[in-house]
Amino acid sequence: MDKQSRRQFIRLAVRGTLFGGIALVTGNLILRQGEPLFGKNRKSGPTVWQLNPAKCIQCGRCATNCVKTPSAVKCTHAYSMCGYCNLCSGYFKPGTKTLDTGAEKQLCPVSAIKRTFVEDPFYEYTIDETLCIGCGKCVKGCGAFGNGSLQLQVRHPLCDNCNECSIARNCPAGAYRRVPLSDPYLLKGFGKEKV
């Protein structure tokens, strides 16, 4: 065996080993995913980031830690849970006496909540997502004194779906996790159920 063919043989052997290694890792990763590789119940589908409102403590970091400005996290209104209160604790600052839409009375720093009269004594509150920065101030107010129908959620069309979410890394409550793309929201209803 001359030097050249010996080198080629070694190269072939190592190449085979590397192929084997790649196959082993792939096989391991695919096999551990369990039976359904395709279809609805598989685990191997793409994931997106979402935050669990039940864990969220409204620290305000969603507004500042997202790689996007303004943040891809927005306040989401689960209307079906809303009490349509006149004195909305997510809309008004604590201690507000006259309930009108004056900016100084609003909890929201960017006036992203629109208050519209429905019928006595009910008011509808709508989030203007183009304004909302995801600070969670209204969420805190609504959760503390109201029904908790205002909740922070990652709005997927705005989210870049980073491999590691920059807000998740800084979330003090560990509320963020990867969720399957087929079920991308985690709005909480009363108790434990989902909206």
- Rounded CA-CA distance 101/84 in Å is 15
Q: How far is the CB of 78 from another protein (least distance, A)?
A: 5
Contact between 8 and another protein (CB under 8 A)?
no
Contact 91, 125 (CB under 8 A): yes
x/- letters, 21..50, toward another protein (CB under 8 A): -x--xx-xxx-xx---x-----xxxxxx--
Q: How far is the CB of 104 from another protein (least distance, A)?
A: 19
Give the residue with the Cβ less far from another protein, 105 or 156. 156
- 92-108 burial: b if 16+ Cβ within 10 Å, else e: beeebeeeeeeeeebbb
DSSP 3-state assignment of 113?
strand
x/- letters, 144..183, toward another protein (CB under 8 A): xxxxxx-x-x-xxx-xxxxxx-x--x--xxx---x--x--
Q: How far is the CB of 81 from another protein (least distance, A)?
A: 6
- The three-state DSSP-derived secondary structure of 41-58 is CCCCCCEEEEECCCCCCC
Q: Apex CA 123: angle with CA 52 and CA 127, to 5°?
A: 40
Residues from 64 through 123 that contact another protein (CB under 8 A)? 67-69, 76-87, 89, 94, 118-119, 121-122
